């Protein structure tokens, strides 16, 4: 269904607000019920997946372990396999999503998104890249159909690919609407190697043989302008298709040819 290659597990929230710090895995690592290798394994934290850091460390056999929250219980992770960074939780105001000059954004609540599996890292603005993807899927032209496609995308990435949530920053349909995925402030799982330094917009459909309609194209352009004017994108940002940095056909031949004519490509 998708031609995009995503990193293993990124995390998506309904809306986003600062919390304290997150412990984010730099590789697949065990979460244990106590500090040290003798303790029971609670789960595996996959690469780029994060849990809330509880502010405590403990040294066992000259190895430092960090204390995290695992569904309300104490968890411990070897510090050598995580990084600590500001995190994003799943409750923010619509004001933080709906920035001045943006087209109307359909929130995760409005399209009926599933909750993210866990917390994820905060994106540091302004970012250098804006990536354009396509879903390599069926098209949608009404809000009802596009909402169903959003749910299909999320289900596919969680249940079949094993990700923690949909990986894009935003998704645009040919109904002309913009749909919230991770939003402005969360590190995505959309463009391997560039998730920390870029935002991504996915257009619903397969644009190998045609360009999106004017409603979708205008929505993408408005979102780029909005990100730029609100400090989410660098003034010298680079616009790229996913295929510019990955082995993928996304965003489809015709859409790719189109964005190459836009500013900052």
**pLDDT, mean over the chain:** 87
Range in 6-15, 20-29, 51-60 with the lowest mean pLDDT? 6-15
* Secondary structure class of 65 (helix, strand, coil): strand
pLDDT value at position 7?
35
How many other CB atoms are there within 10 angstroms of residue 185's CB atom? 23
Q: Phi and psi (nearest 5°) for 110?
A: -70, -35
pLDDT value at position 119?
73
What is the average pLDDT across 107-121?
87
pLDDT at 24 over 90: no
Sign of the dihedral through C-alpha 162, 212, 143, 131: positive
Q: What is the pLDDT of residues 26-80, one digit of tens each?
A: 888 999 999 999 999 988 887 767 788 999 999 999 999 999 988 788 999 999 9
What is the average pLDDT across 177-205?
95
pLDDT at 4 over 80: no
Percent of the chain topping pLDDT 70: 89
Q: What is the pLDDT of residues 131-152, one digit of tens each?
A: 999 999 999 999 999 999 999 9
- Give the predicted TM-score (pTM) of the model: 0.72
pLDDT value at position 3?
41
Q: Phi and psi (nearest 5°) for 80?
A: -70, -10
pLDDT at 215 over 50: yes
Structure tokens at 216: 């979708």
pLDDT value at position 48?
67
Query: In the chain, what are the domains?
Result: 17-89 (2.30.30.40), 94-259 (3.40.80.10)
DSSP assignments along 66-128, one per residue: EEEEETTEEEEEEGGGEEEEEEEES---HHHHS-TTPPPEE-HHHHTPPPPSS-EEBPPSSEE
User: Predicted confidence band at 97 (pLDDT cuts at 50, 70, 90)?
Assistant: confident
The residue among 120 and 159 whose pLDDT is bigger is: 159
The residue among 10 and 21 whose pLDDT is bigger is: 21
pLDDT value at position 89?
53
């Amino acid at each position: 269904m998708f031609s995009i290659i995503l990193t293993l597990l990124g995390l998506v929230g309904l809306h986003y607000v600062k919390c304290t710090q997150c412990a984010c895995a730099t590789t697949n690592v065990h979460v244990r019920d106590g500090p040290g290798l003798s303790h029971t394994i609670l789960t595996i934290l996959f690469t780029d997946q994060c849990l809330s850091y509880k502010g405590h460390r403990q040294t066992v056999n000259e190895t430092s372990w960090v204390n995290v929250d695992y569904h309300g219980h104490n968890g411990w992770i070897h510090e050598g396999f995580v990084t600590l960074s500001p995190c994003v939780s799943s409750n923010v105001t619509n004001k933080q999503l709906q920035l001045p000059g943006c087209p109307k954004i359909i929130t995760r609540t409005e399209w009926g998104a599933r909750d993210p599996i866990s917390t994820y890292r905060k994106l540091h603005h302004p970012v250098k890249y804006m990536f354009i993807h396509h879903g390599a899927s069926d098209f949608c032209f009404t809000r009802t159909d596009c909402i169903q496609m959003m749910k299909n995308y999320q289900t596919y990435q969680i249940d079949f690919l094993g990700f923690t949530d949909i990986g894009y920053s935003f998704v645009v349909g040919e109904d002309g609407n913009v749909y919230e995925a991770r939003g402005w402030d969360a590190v995505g799982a959309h463009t391997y190697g560039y998730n920390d330094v870029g935002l991504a917009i996915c257009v619903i459909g397969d644009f190998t043989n045609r360009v999106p309609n004017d409603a979708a194209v205008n929505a993408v352009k408005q979102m780029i302008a909005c990100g730029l004017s609100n400090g989410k994108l660098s003034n010298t940002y680079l616009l790229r298709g996913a295929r510019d940095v990955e082995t993928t056909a996304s965003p489809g031949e015709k859409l790719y040819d189109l964005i190459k004519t836009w500013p900052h490509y």
